[in-house]
Structure 1
Amino acid sequence: MAISTRDRILDAAEWLFADQGFHLTTLRQITQAAEANLAAVNYYFGSKQELIRAIFRRRLDALNAARLERLDAIESDTDRPELEAVLDAFVEPALEFTRGGDAEGQRFMQLLLRAFADRDTALHEAMRAEYAHVMRRFADAVSEALPNADPTRLRHQLDFIVGALTLTMAESALKDTRIIAAELVQFAAAGLRGSLENRIPDSARRTLEATS
């Protein structure tokens, strides 16, 4: 079955962005690799930024759907979900997503690592836009599990968890994702609960609030 022009552009862009980075890769390089023209990129995506968003959307939609399905099941069973159950619903589908070490999965993980390491604000906003609704749902669920948690600190703590999860996902030798997920969930839950007992200095709090 022939690959559509749109998918050829997405595949080529994903390979090049992962290999060269977002800023060094040009639309001309992408169209040459995809055997397409610039008009096709403009037609399907409108801009390089929207092309980047489409790449993340293509890979993350199924993952986010799996996460929300598990969270829905947890919330339907109880008024106050267990913290570990909420974190597991976020973590394990992501590790399952990368299991197997196939070329496409590893390439996308390389792309994610580049995106997290990049200092470009617009790039971060494009990436966050694809999972912002998921993070809001999980932040609300964690807040229900830990009703005394500080909302500002919690947002930053969830970012820390995402960072740890992304680095774990990038490990190509992942085999038993169930065990790895359990370890990461235990680690994250301990950190979140521990933060309830440790008040941060006012100066640090003001910094957190300013960056939220």
Structure 2
Amino acid sequence: MGNTGPVTLLLALDLAGTFVFALSGGIAGVRQRLDLFGVFVLSFVAGNFGGIARDILIGAVPPAGISDWRYPMVSMLAGLITFYWTPLIEKLVSPVQIFDAAGLGLFAVSGAQKALAFGLNPLMAAFLGMLTGIGGGVARDVLLARIPTVLKAEIYAVAALAGGAVVVIGKFLDVPAAIATLAGALLCFGLRLIAIRRRWRLPVARRGAQGEASTQQDLKDPR
């Protein structure tokens, strides 16, 4: 990675993704009436967990999220913004979903780009992009004792995988990195927002009446 261009692009994408995901974490924390420290924690986790998981898996240690001061600084800034200026952010339509979709797209492409830079094969690079995109949201929801969005929402992980795949395909078609990255991020972001609007979902397992009755009984008597 002697060329500073790809390095600068990766850093910009990572910091932008960290900021918007941290905003989504901060807003979620404010809505749960967490104190300032709690909002900071949720902002940091939402903004950095996916990138930290990616870096550990590809051997980029210590992860940038804890070794580069800019990542926690960006996360704390997002936390402050959401804590003190939530009414302004809330004027946006479904702000958490918008920031979450933006972070998903940015992290999906940055994760795939970094995986390729570290020599991973195309398939794993696309999957690392997806992991980078969904990791922060999963950690945020777990800390709030909610079922992670990726397990139950309209097209989510698939959107991140599509964004990462565009970056990988662009790499092997010799498409300029900036163009492939922008295309992948826009595809992921657009697909996620359209899925929310039109309620597109992956197939869900169906259970018969006996299965439903069994579930209800399990809830009443978890033994």
- TM-score of the superposition, structure 1-length normalised? 0.39
- Higher RCO (C-alpha under 8 Å, 6+ residues apart): 1
Q: Give me the TM-score of the superposition, normalised by structure 2.
A: 0.38
